[in-house]
Amino acid sequence: MKYRELGKTGKMISEIGLGCEFLDRKPYGRVKEVIDAAIGYGVNVMDIFMPGTEVRENISKAIGNRREEVFIQGHIGSTDINQQYDISRDMPTVKKYFEELLRIFGYIDFGMLFFIDSEDDYKNVFETEFITYAEHLKAQGDIRHIGFSSHNPVTAMKAIETGIPEMMMFSINPAFDMLPADQYALDNIDKFFGGEMFRGIDPKRAALYKLCTQKQVGITAMKTLGAGKLLSPDHTPYLEPLTLSQCVHYALSRPSVASVLPGCQSAEEVNSIMKYLTAIDEEKSFAEIISNIKNDFRGHCVYCSHCAPCPMEIDIAAVNKYLDIARLDENNIPPSIRSHFNALNSAECIACASCENRCPFGVPIIENIKDAKRILA
């Protein structure tokens, strides 16, 4: 494992870390298996955005006396009001959830301002008691550094310009970075750091990477695999799927990125991602594949649940997941997919669109729900 400096935090973190989201609702044995496998490879940074007490305690127990060896990225404002992942800016709620995280882990290395995607997110965090609370936590040593998570380059830049965050978690993969095929000609991606550094990349995202470099804001990358879609022949936006190593290498090749944090739910998945560590250059090279885009990736669900909470308590990520599986072959839908879908309450959707306003990836959720009912109900 190689280690990189995470911007001005000065901390050396493993190039591959662990996103712990898939450990949610898993038995302790499974959690321990994944944590042990990751640490065994030299992973020393883990993202814990999940608000549930049980998963937090399971991870802490699995880390055990290795707490000092691991940097924990914990999120301020991540809650699970109404049993769903939720974002809160209500200070008593924010404090309750974050202080529980502190109780479980003792301290948090990277205290992340959760989900700074919109102008409202920015205002409700950087212009309120929220940011004072984060700075107070840092002054007390409860958090060692202030970071934030975002999927929106424009809001992320605004957050960085405050000078407060020392690091950022950002969604990075080639499909999110690149402009649609008709807007660019990507012919020499190996020159990313030369004069053609950001040719083909969405200018807003290019500007964000540049700002991070200027301000020494280190990046941990999420959504590196696009929820597995970049690896899938059926879902990839390119003419052929990428490999795990290519996806990891893409994110690690972006300016200021110190680590990628893929979510793993078994030791086997950890082993798969760690093949990157011994991959040769040809196996990591992604240039040829991503120069052959077949459609725009935006608008496709990556099952992140950032659209929650739904007032009708619909599990939107699950609806999209079953829909994606069903769309692969509408005439041959596995009965289990149909019955899982029908156990969800998607019929109760009132088309309020609050989920669509929160989705960072422009997914047409209401249309998808209608389509899922047509295909699966």
Binding site for ligand SF4 (CB under 6 A): 301-307, 310-312, 314, 316-317, 320, 349-355, 359, 361, 363, 365-366, 369
Q: How near is the Cβ of 270 to ligand SF4 at its closest, in Å?
A: 24
Q: What is the DSSP string of 28-91?
A: HHHHHHHHHHHHHTT--EEEE----HHHHHHHHHHHGGGGGG-EEEEEETEE-GGGS-EE---H
Q: H helices of 162-255, where?
A: 174-177, 203-215, 244-252
Q: Would the CA dihedral through 370, 371, 374, 376 be positive or negative?
A: negative
Q: How near is the Cβ of 289 to ligand SF4 at its closest, in Å?
A: 23
With both helix axes pointing from N to C terminus, report the angle between 316-328 and 365-376 in degrees, rounded to the nearest 10: 50
Cβ closer to ligand SF4: 287 or 366? 366
Cβ closer to ligand SF4: 137 or 317? 317
> What gap in Å lies between CA 354 and CA 155, rounded to an integer?
19
Question: Mapping DSSP to helix (H, G, I), strand (E, B) and coil, where does residue 145 land?
Answer: strand
Of 241, 224, 228, the closest CA to residue 321 belongs to 228
Cβ closer to ligand SF4: 10 or 311? 311
Cβ closer to ligand SF4: 264 or 310? 310
Q: How near is the Cβ of 348 to ligand SF4 at its closest, in Å?
A: 7
Peptide bond into 309 cis (omega under 30): yes
Cβ closer to ligand SF4: 39 or 227? 227
Of 314, 317, 311, 297, the closest CA to residue 361 belongs to 297
Query: How are the residues of the chain apportioned to helix, strand and coil, as percentages rounded to the nearest 5?
Result: 45, 15, 40
With both helix axes pointing from N to C terminus, report the angle between 316-328 and 335-342 in degrees, rounded to the nearest 10: 150
Cβ closer to ligand SF4: 328 or 350? 350
Q: How near is the Cβ of 247 to ligand SF4 at its closest, in Å?
A: 17
Query: Which amino acid would we find at residue 159?
Result: A
Cβ closer to ligand SF4: 203 or 311? 311
Q: How near is the Cβ of 259 to ligand SF4 at its closest, in Å?
A: 22
Contact by Cβ (8 Å): 45, 144: no
In the chain, beta strands by DSSP E:
3-5, 12-14, 18-19, 45-48, 71-76, 78-79, 86-87, 108-113, 143-150, 167-171, 218-222, 257-260
Instruction: Report angle CA 105, 111, 113 to the nearest 5 degrees.
Output: 135
CB atoms within 10 A of CB 58: 24
Cβ closer to ligand SF4: 186 or 365? 365
Query: Which amino acid would we find at residue 367?
Result: E
> What gap in Å lies between CA 47 and CA 300, rounded to an integer?
23
Q: How near is the Cβ of 354 to ligand SF4 at its closest, in Å?
A: 5
β-bridge mates for residue 86, sequence order: 79
Q: How near is the Cβ of 364 to ligand SF4 at its closest, in Å?
A: 9
Cβ closer to ligand SF4: 352 or 377? 352
Cβ closer to ligand SF4: 39 or 344? 344
Q: How near is the Cβ of 224 to ligand SF4 at its closest, in Å?
A: 15
Q: How near is the Cβ of 227 to ligand SF4 at its closest, in Å?
A: 8
Q: How near is the Cβ of 368 to ligand SF4 at its closest, in Å?
A: 8
